[in-house]
Amino acid sequence: MMTKPGNITEEDMMGDIPDIQQEKFIENLDKEALEKKLTETEDEAFSERLYLQEQAKQWEDKFLHAMADLDNLRRQSEKRVLDAHKYGISKILEDLVPVLDSLEQSQTVTEFDHEVVKNMRDGMAMTLNILLKVLEKFGVKVINPEINRDLFNPSWHEVMLAQENTSVPPNTILAVMQKGYQLHDRLIRPARVMVAKAPVEK
């Protein structure tokens, strides 16, 4: 069978090659194709492995972030519960402060020495002491700075008056006009005080 010019087939190419050489040629072709296929497969496997590693890393990061958020949420919830137990009476205490002030004020009434008045004053003093002891069990502390010794502390005191005084350093507390109250480490009301100030130079 004649082959048209320009239409050379694989059979035509192999026609003049001895059988042994043909076998080696085919074997070499198969080997090259196999090696090329293996290389492509290895490249694909490597790319797939990199992709899976990246995906695993992303999922690990998401998991760690989720666990961190969950831990923060747990801590915040625990803190809210603790604060609710610790500071739960803060609103009640704010409402009780005027009552405490009145009971404290009653102890300064000395104009009347009548027996009935003295008995009422003693009864109020007892009521005040009982109430403070109950509040102390819940973490309430009285802020009562020592006169002529303690210095003004803006965190716990409120200045109502300032008086010139040379016998003590400036900002020394000269009088406590109203005691303050704190619940654990939270300020309910600062102590209202009068402090010393340096005389104005003339």
**Residue 37 or 104, more confident:** 104
Contacts of residues 115-119 at CB distance under 8 Å and 24 or more positions apart, as own/partner, are none
Task: Give domain status of residue 6, yes or no.
Answer: no
- Among 92, 95, 122, 130, smallest CA distance to 106 is for 122
Q: How far apart are CA 142 and CA 130, in angstroms?
A: 14
Q: Which ranges constitute the DSSP H helices of 88-192?
A: 90-106, 115-137
Q: How far apart are CA 180 and CA 97, in angstroms?
A: 9
pLDDT at 3: 46
Task: Give domain status of residue 108, yes or no.
Answer: yes
Tell whether 191 and 137 lie within a shared domain: yes
- Among 190, 109, 117, smallest CA distance to 153 is for 190
Tell whether 143 and 102 lie within a shared domain: yes
pLDDT at 9: 52
Task: Give domain status of residue 75, yes or no.
Answer: yes
Task: Give domain status of residue 142, yes or no.
Answer: yes
Task: Give domain status of residue 92, yes or no.
Answer: yes
**Residue 58 or 29, more confident:** 58
Tell whether 111 and 131 lie within a shared domain: yes
Q: Tell me the β-bridge partners of 196.
A: 163
Tell whether 155 and 190 lie within a shared domain: yes
Tell whether 81 and 112 lie within a shared domain: no
The label of the residue with tokens 């915040």 reads: 76
Q: How many structural domains does the chain have?
A: 2
Domain final residue, candidates 31, 61, 85: 85
Q: How far apart are CA 90 and CA 102, in angstroms?
A: 19
Tell whether 70 and 94 lie within a shared domain: no
Residue 73 structural domain: 19-85
pLDDT tens column, 81-92: 888 888 888 888
pLDDT at 28: 57
Whole-model pTM? 0.62
Task: Give domain status of residue 202, yes or no.
Answer: no
Domain final residue, candidates 85, 104, 120: 85
